[in-house]
């Protein structure tokens, strides 16, 4: 059985359908609550076909995490760190743009996976760790481009703030946490960036009182 792709007009392979189904189900329902049968049914493939392509559920979960799980698409907050239209300071602040209201939003899939995968030998865990390390390095690099006096310290502060906002948003199903996190990020940047650096916003000049 083949499925015609609506975006390109071509056929979607069983592997692609499985990955799409797994990405949707693992993120929306959770990894542990999604069975191989659930994925096979959603992808319109047999379990035999699925196991021919992915030897186990653990292998499928690792493949899901390795593909980026659709989380870093253009417009995603983490992706804004590489937005060439923004200054380094704006890239850092864009991390804290309030996400659009979406009933399917469950926070960071890598964080969710780290919570669910209790087996320390699970093949997906190194991918979670690598993603988080790369994200931290991207924030530090942006802080350095912005002229931070201590880019490693400032980058780590912002990364922790972002992770907290994501986790609280997922826990409460309310993205208001990003509003408070952005205010805190602005304070961190105000104290951590020199005012005369190109990545920093220009100072506000106030007229002396008459």
Q: Is 204's pLDDT higher than 50?
A: no
Q: Please, which pLDDT band fits residue 21 given cuts at 50, 70 and 90? A: very high
Q: What is the pTM of this model?
A: 0.81
- The pLDDT of 146-156, averaged and rounded, is 96
Q: How many CB atoms lie within 10 A of CB 115?
A: 13
Contacts of 188 (CB under 8 A, 6+ apart): 154, 157, 158, 161
Whole-number average pLDDT of the chain: 86
């Amino acid at each position: 059985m083949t499925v015609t792709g609506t975006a390109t007009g071509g056929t979607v392979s069983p592997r692609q359908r499985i990955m799409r189904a797994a990405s949707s189900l693992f993120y929306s329902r959770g990894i542990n609550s999604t069975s191989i049968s659930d994925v096979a049914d959603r992808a319109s493939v047999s379990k035999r076909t699925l196991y021919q392509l992915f030897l186990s559920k653990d292998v499928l979960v690792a493949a899901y995490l390795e593909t980026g799980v659709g989380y870093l698409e253009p417009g995603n907050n983490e992706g804004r760190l590489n937005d060439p239209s923004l200054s380094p300071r704006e890239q850092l602040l864009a991390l804290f743009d309030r996400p659009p209201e979406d009933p399917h939003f469950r926070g960071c899939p890598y964080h969710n996976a780290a919570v669910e995968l209790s087996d320390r030998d699970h093949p997906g865990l190194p991918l979670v760790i690598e993603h988080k390390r790369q994200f931290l390095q991207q924030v530090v690099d942006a802080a350095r481009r912005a002229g931070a006096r201590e880019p490693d310290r400032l980058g780590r502060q912002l990364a922790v703030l972002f992770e907290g906002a994501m986790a609280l948003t997922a826990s409460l199903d309310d993205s208001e946490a990003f509003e408070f996190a952005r205010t805190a990020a602005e304070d961190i940047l105000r104290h951590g960036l020199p005012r005369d650096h190109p990545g920093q916003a220009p100072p506000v000049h106030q007229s002396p009182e008459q």
